[in-house]
């Protein structure tokens, strides 16, 4: 064969193979989605958000490969309204889903977030808690809770023993003389449990998620994995408790007269006082919470490992978040519901293959997940959705999506507008149950309420108007046309 012919043949082969590569690229299957959500997890408990005691290497690894949002907020500060909101794509006061039911009656046949993916050919499944489920009650039963069947191709629950798990247990709440036995319900209880990770709900959830990834790796999947820790009861295998001896736990600084300038509605529903927890029990609460976080983080690691082994990591968008935050003794507040930053802010990491890791300070809302992930996967973004598309922040972390985050605490008829400089909290739509205003530049831990200060009345007036306009805007939506 002549040299020229050989060169021509080589050139032709090169062209065909690159054409082939192009066509494979064009036909490449759409991104899978792996959505991991923890329950009652405050960002402040994660090492990638600066916690020095509680180490969360597996969540940190997702943050190291994705965009970590430093100012992400939930839309409702407890399970029911928060989950109904980001799954439906509407604010709690748009659907009226303010309690523990799923939003289906309010949204009619409109597709929820996962249902939108299902309608677009995705194998769509959830393991454990995505819509509201009672913890520990619903987990002990292993039932569907307030789940929405139409949102999934398949769904799986992870029954667990919760507070009944054998081990060393103690009730911390309402137990000043130490005589109260370990109890169920939404109560501060710790159990350093016998046995391994698989005894508990989250261990089973991780195992099922790993199995599903392997089974469905050749399809396009939307897999939602809901861990129930660190929601109370703080139950985890004993080895996780050994990492956090309670005597070594530090409590947030306590300031004399901290509650004096706060309206009654602003004192959280669980406090060191009404829970009758002395400093020892407060430290045991922090230790139990961290043990639960470390246990949950280890389960996240198992799922991420299965994704890697499936060969799908390069084609899967991973999201890690929580349904709301949590107090661990700041202002002597505990748990959720409060509209302070510890409770209203959430950890949020979005990792998209091929995009540079980054930290983004734009205000983000969990409500943004539905439009953002739909857009990243090339699906239509329904114009009726009330969230914003965060995708531009993943290419340019300095991009600002909104000037304020909005969050509610229906149990307290409370509203939060969180701007860069100000956190404005109002109780009742007419503000008759009080207002809190914090200067987040000079007082980031929110110790001084400026709502009554003469100097700040113009700021308060501006926020009153802004809140009324926000409520009006979000209530003016397509849900009226049933
Ligand atoms: Ca929750």
List the end-to-end C-alpha distance of the chain, in Å, as a whole number: 74
Among 165, 221, 224, smallest CA distance to 196 is for 165
- 8 A C-beta contact, residue 342 and residue 428: no
User: What is the reported pLDDT for 21?
Assistant: 46
**Which residues contact residue 292 at a Cβ distance below 8 angstroms, ignoring those fewer than 6 apart?**
229, 230, 231, 234, 235, 236, 240
**Max CA pair span of the chain:** 97
Domains and CATH numbers, the chain: 29-399 (3.40.720.10)
Give residue 224 CA to ligand 1 midpoint distance, Å.
16
Tokens (6 digits) for 55? 């180490």
Spatial CB neighbours of 15, under 8 Å, sequence gap ≥ 6: none
CA angle 220, 84, 127 (to 5 degrees): 45
SS3 labels along the chain: CCHHHHHHHHHHHHHHHHHHHHHHHHCCCCCEEEEEEECCCCHHHCHHHCCCCCCCHHHHHHHHHCEEEEEEECCECCHHHHHHHHHHCCCHHHHCCCCCCCCHHHHCCCCCHHHHHHHCCCEEEEEECCCCCCCCHHHHHCCCCCCCHHHCCEEECCCCCHHHCCEEEEECCCCCCCCCCCCCCCCCEEEEECCCHHHCHHHHHHHHHHHHHHHHCCCCEEEEEECCCCCCCEEEEHHHHCCCCHHHCCCCCCCCCCCCCCCHHHCCCCECCCCCCCHHHHHHHHHHHHHHHHHHHHHHHHHHHHHHHCCCHHHEEEEEEECCCCEECHHHEEECCCCCHHHHEEEEEEECCCCCCEEEEEEEEHHHHHHHHHHHCCCCCCCCCCCCCCHHHHHCCCCCCCCCEEEEEHHHCEEEEECCCEEEEEECCCCCCCEEEEECCCCCCCCCCCCCCHHHHHHHHHHHHHHHHHHHHHHCCHHHCC
Q: What is the pLDDT of residue 6?
A: 52
Ligand 1 centre to CA of 61 (Å) is 23
d(CA 478, ligand 1 centre) in Å? 28
Write out residues in the chain with pLDDT < 50, as ranges: 1, 15-16, 19-26
Question: What's the Rg (C-alpha) of the chain?
Answer: 24
Q: Which two tokens stand for residue 416?
A: 């939060």
Q: Which position has the token pair 């003794």?
A: 329
- In the structure encoding, which two tokens stand for residue 238, read together? 């004993």
b (16+ CB within 10 A) / e for 30-53: bbbbbbbbbbbbbbbbbbbbebee
CB atoms under 10 Å from CB of 205, counted, come to 29
338-356 pLDDT, tens digit each: 999 999 999 999 999 999 9
Question: Comparing C-alpha atoms, which of 464, 457, 452, 458 is closest to residue 260?
Answer: 452
Sole residue written with tokens 């939506």: 477
Residue 145 CA to ligand 1 centre (angstroms): 13
Compute the distance from residue 301 Cα to the ligand 1 centre, in Å: 21
Task: Give the Å distance between the CA of 79 and the centre of ligand 1.
Answer: 4
**What's the rounded Cα separation, in Å, for the pair 184 and 427?**
31
- CA 231 to ligand 1 centroid distance, Å: 7
CA 320 / ligand 1 centre spacing (Å): 14
Alpha carbon of 323 to ligand 1 centroid (Å): 5
**Distance in angstroms (rounded) separating the CA atoms of residues 52 and 271:** 24
| CA 78 to ligand 1 center in whole angstroms | 5
What is the CA(395)–ligand 1 centre distance, in A? 30
Tell me the CA–centroid distance for residue 60 and ligand 1, in Å: 21
Tokens 């909101």 -> residue: 85
Give 270 Cα–ligand 1 centroid separation in angstroms.
Answer: 15
CA distance 351 to 67: 6
* CA–CA dist 92, 127 (Å, integer): 24
Structural tokens at position 426: 């109002």
């Amino acid at each position: 064969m002549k040299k020229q012919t050989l060169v021509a043949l080589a050139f032709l082969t090169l062209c065909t193979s690159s054409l082939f590569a192009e066509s494979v690229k064009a036909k490449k299957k759409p991104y899978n989605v792996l959505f991991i959500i923890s329950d009652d997890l405050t960002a402040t408990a994660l090492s990638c958000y600066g916690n020095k005691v509680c180490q969360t290497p597996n969540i940190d690894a997702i943050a190291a490969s994705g965009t970590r949002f430093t100012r992400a907020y939930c839309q409702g500060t407890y399970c029911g309204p928060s989950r109904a909101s980001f799954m439906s794509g509407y604010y709690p006061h748009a659907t009226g889903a303010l309690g523990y039911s799923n939003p289906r009656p309010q949204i009619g046949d409109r597709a929820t977030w996962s249902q939108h993916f299902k309608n677009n050919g995705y194998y769509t499944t959830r393991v454990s808690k995505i819509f509201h489920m009672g913890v520990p009650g619903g987990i002990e039963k292993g039932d569907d809770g307030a789940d929405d069947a139409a949102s999934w191709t398949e769904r799986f629950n992870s029954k667990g023993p919760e507070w009944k798990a054998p081990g060393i247990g103690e009730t911390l709440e309402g137990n000043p003389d130490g005589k109260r036995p370990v109890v169920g319900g939404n109560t501060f209880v710790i159990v350093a449990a016998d046995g391994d990770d698989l005894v508990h709900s989250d261990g089973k959830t991780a195992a099922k998620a790993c199995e599903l990834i392997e089974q469905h790796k050749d399809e396009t999947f939307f897999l939602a994995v809901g861990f129930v820790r660190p929601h109370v009861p703080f139950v985890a295998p004993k080895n996780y408790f050994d990492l956090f001896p309670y005597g070594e736990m530090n409590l947030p600084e306590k300031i004399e007269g901290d509650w004096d300038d706060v309206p009654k509605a602003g004192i959280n529903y669980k406090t060191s006082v009404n829970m009758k927890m002395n400093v020892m029990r407060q430290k045991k609460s922090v230790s139990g919470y961290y043990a639960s976080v470390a246990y949950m983080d280890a389960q996240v690691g198992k799922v991420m490992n299965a994704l890697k082994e499936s060969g799908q990591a390069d084609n899967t968008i991973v999201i890690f978040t929580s349904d709301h935050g949590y107090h661990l003794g700041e202002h002597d507040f505990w748990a959720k519901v409060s509209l302070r930053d510890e409770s209203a802010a959430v950890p949020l990491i979005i990792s998209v293959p091929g995009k540079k890791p980054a930290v983004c300070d734009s205000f983000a809302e969990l409500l943004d997940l539905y439009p953002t992930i739909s857009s990243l996967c090339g699906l239509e973004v329904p114009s009726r959705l009330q969230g914003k598309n965060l995708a531009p922040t993943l290419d340019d972390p300095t991009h600002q999506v909104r000037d304020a985050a909005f969050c509610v605490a229906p149990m307290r008829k409370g509203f939060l507008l969180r701007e860069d400089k100000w956190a404005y909290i109002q109780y009742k739509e007419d503000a008759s149950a009080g207002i809190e205003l914090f200067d987040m530049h000079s007082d980031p831990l929110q110790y001084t309420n400026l709502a009554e200060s003469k100097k700040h009345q113009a700021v308060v007036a501006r926020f009153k108007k802004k809140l009324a306009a926000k409520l009006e805007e979000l209530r003016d939506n397509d849900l009226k046309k049933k």
